[in-house]
Amino acid sequence: MVVQVEPERTGQERRHVGRFRETADAWPGLGLYERFEQAVALVLTFVVSCVIVVAIANLVFAAGLNLFFNRLAPLDHTAFQDIFGLILTALIALEFNHTILSILHRKESIVQLRTVILIALLAMARKFIIIDVTAVEPLTVISLASAVLALGSVYWLVRDQDRRQDVEETPMKGLP
């Protein structure tokens, strides 16, 4: 008689494996469109994971080249901008992947407005870091700043609305 013993997993590993196991367990009870959503989420998770791996490899390669072959690169503002642009690209991809994994966990619906706005704000922050203000029209900088202000305002409104809904749904202490 052979007994299979699963290797000891950390809490985070158990959560990730649990997400895929929950999807597999829930699969028979899902409708056609829900199965489609789950399949798309799995494919997107794989694709975004590949993008993250490529982005990290590109970041390591670029940083390594700059540090080993151009020791003054960290002092050069263009190299600094390039490195931080690559870092933010990887972070944006990680946030996308985290959002897709929450869909697999079936805790949230397909589109979370707050998350989309935060990812857009991250992308705008990346743009401001990598932009060469000497080579860009002032109107372009003003347009980007206006877009950030609009996204920030929408995020504030959505967050405020979510906070109000949480207060309304939470029963008062001491009341039945």
Average pLDDT of the segment spanning 108-130 = 81
pLDDT at 52: 94
pLDDT at 74: 59
pLDDT at 46: 92
Domain presence at residue 4: no
Two tokens, residue 26: 């829930």
pLDDT at 11: 55
9 SS3 class = coil
pLDDT at 116: 85
Domain presence at residue 176: no
Cβ–Cβ under 8 Å, residues 161 and 113: no
Mark residue 86 as left, alpha or beta (left: phi above 0; alpha: psi -120 to 50; beta: remaining).
alpha
Over 70: is that where the pLDDT of 65 sits? yes
pLDDT at 102: 77
Domain presence at residue 117: yes
pLDDT band at 161 (very low <50, low <70, confident <90, very high): confident
Q: Quote the percentage of the chain above a pLDDT of 90.
A: 24
DSSP 51-96: HHHHHHHHHHHHHHHHHHH-TTGGGSHHHHHHHHHHHHHHHHHHHH
Most confident of 46-55, 67-76, 99-108, 113-122: 46-55
Domain presence at residue 2: no
Rounded to an integer, what distance in angstroms lies between the CA atom of residue 90 and that of residue 96?
Answer: 10
Domain hosting 121: range is: 11-169
Average pLDDT of the segment spanning 46-67 = 90
Tell me which amino acid residue 109 is. Answer: S
The pairs formed by 125-128 with CB atoms below 8 angstroms and a separation of 24 or more are 125/88, 126/84, 126/85, 126/88, 126/89, 126/92
What would the pLDDT profile of 13-44 be if each residue is shown by its tens digit?
555 555 567 767 777 777 888 788 778 888 98
The pTM of the whole model exceeds 0.85: no
Domain presence at residue 3: no
pLDDT at 142: 93
Number of domains the chain contains: 1
